[in-house]
Structure 1
């Protein structure tokens, strides 16, 4: 299994299969697999950045008010 330093991936631009930019890696989701952590998702795009706000009560209220919590523009890769 390869070891990757996640700080080298966060903030990197992601491209579609057609070469268009779809955004930047905003969040990395990992699960424990024995003694390893395995990346299962990258969250990319403008709404991935807004998703980070949902960690707070105020952020969740803002996302709900503007109906942004489940909107297109969040890519899970």
Structure 2
């Protein structure tokens, strides 16, 4: 395995820490694109909303939550690949502030 390669299955479920060491969520999904023969990670999804996306159940899941009375749903973030420090894959850390991340409640594009 090359130095810049990490097995994604080992990252799933890992808790992401912010710059102060506070847990902000677990890696639940990874978005990548194929470039030639390689897959290149574009972003990581963390939090409960990421679980719904991982299960391809975003629209249905949100509908059920609204029926149950949840009006403001925010429980996840999208982390661009270059904003996550994986120097220690067992303890991934943000390279930016939490304010710089996109909320999953503002996504996904295909949920509309």
TM-score bracket for this pair, using the shorter chain length: 0.7 to 0.9
Q: CA deviation at 1:49?
A: 1.5
Gaps of 5+ in 1: none
What's the TM-score once normalised by structure 2's chain length? Answer: 0.54
What residue is the counterpart of 2:104 in the other structure?
A: none
> How many residue pairs end up in the alignment?
73
What's the TM-score once normalised by structure 1's chain length? Answer: 0.74
Distance (whole Å) between structure 2 residues aligned to residue 48 and residue 62 of structure 1: 11
What SS is found at the alignment partner of 1:3? Answer: coil
Gaps of 5+ in 2: 80-112
**Are 1:41 and 2:40 counterparts?**
no
- Which of 5, 8, 32 is residue 7 of structure 2 equivalent to? 5
- Which of 13, 32, 35 is residue 34 of structure 2 equivalent to? 32
Q: CA deviation at 1:17?
A: 1.7
What SS is found at the alignment partner of 2:20? Answer: coil
Distance (whole Å) between structure 2 residues aligned to residue 62 and residue 10 of structure 1: 21
Structure with the greater relative contact order (CA < 8 A, sep ≥ 6): 1 or 2?
2
